[in-house]
Amino acid sequence: MIIGGPSSQLLAGRVAAILGERVALCEYRTFPDGEAYTQLQSEIDDDVVVIQSTPSDRDIVYLLQLLDIVRGRNVTLVIPYFGYARQDKIFKPGEPLTARAIASALNPFLNGGSRVFTVNIHAQSVLTHFKCRAESLDATPLLAEEIRRLDLRDPVVISPDRGAIAMASRASEILGCEFDHLEKTRYSGTEVSIAPKEIDVRGRDVIIMDDMIATGGTMATAISMLRRQGAQSVHLAAVHPVLTGNALLKLYHAGVDRVIATDTLDRGVSTVSVAPLIAGSK
């Protein structure tokens, strides 16, 4: 049985279609006082797969409610987008390690036979807080294959920082092209430039790859600078399209040609499905 949380209904349906399994019927709503309500309206199997991304606090509550409903069953938990994964360290005294707190809240519903899957989690260290086997699946090859269909001329894959170099490197291997990362150079207190460390992008099609797009501010700056440096086109590929506020407007205003993302979060740019990746996980 596949149980899709409110933020992952489309993805749950796609996974179920690939596996030939049934999707549970669930009701999600909010009481007048703001409390979340969940009701599973299908008979519960002994083996269940719960799929629910957690982009908001409310989505975490829905996930806890679903796990309480299937308590005692053999649970495979899929959190395609794991909210709070960026709070993976204590940066200042008095701060919580929130990623650990979320994992600790989920652990009582999981047993030794349970599995937890995420997709391109921001910090691998978060997985160590689960008391069962936890793994982050890599959607980079899926994005690379989508980029290949664009038939770009002399492409180069760019990582916006050192943190996404592994993604850029793997995508470049699949595409058979070069990769580089952006490096910030400060000339004064107010003058800063961002440019690829080694590769000249003039006249080339550029693909910026990252694990997520949140506010779009950093990406917009990078896109503008790559355009000024002569890039023929700039495409943006990311796993998680968080896209808060006017993020998409920022990107297109900066001159991006296309934004490609997966359906770990269901957005208008979610043209690449991670359903095959989840369905094929062992």
pLDDT given for residue 164 in this prediction: 87
pLDDT given for residue 184 in this prediction: 65
pLDDT given for residue 196 in this prediction: 76
Q: What average pLDDT does the segment 37-50 reach? A: 95
Query: Cβ distance 114 to 74 under 8 Å?
Result: yes
> Whose structure tokens read 């409310």?
58
**pLDDT at residue 215 greater than cutoff 70:** yes
pLDDT given for residue 16 in this prediction: 97
pLDDT given for residue 279 in this prediction: 97
The CA distances from residue 52 to 25, 130, 197, 243, in Å, are 14, 16, 38, 18
% of the chain at pLDDT higher than 70: 96
Instruction: Report the chain's mean pLDDT, rounded to a whole number.
Output: 93
Residue type present at position 272: V
pLDDT given for residue 199 in this prediction: 84
- Alpha-carbon gap, residue 68 to 223, rounded angstroms: 45
- Alpha-carbon gap, residue 4 to 26, rounded angstroms: 8
26-30 and 36-40 strand pairing: antiparallel
- What pLDDT, in 10s, does the model give residues 180-192? 998 866 555 555 5
- Alpha-carbon gap, residue 230 to 113, rounded angstroms: 53
pLDDT given for residue 160 in this prediction: 87
pLDDT given for residue 113 in this prediction: 87
pLDDT given for residue 200 in this prediction: 87
Whether 184 is catalytic: yes
Query: Cβ distance 73 to 99 under 8 Å?
Result: no
Query: Cβ distance 28 to 62 under 8 Å?
Result: yes
Which of the residues 89, 92, 184, 282 is marked catalytic? 184
- What pLDDT, in 10s, does the model give residues 85-141? 999 999 899 999 999 999 999 999 998 889 999 999 999 999 999 999 999 999 999
- What pLDDT, in 10s, does the model give residues 228-282? 999 999 999 999 999 999 999 999 999 999 999 999 999 999 999 999 999 999 7
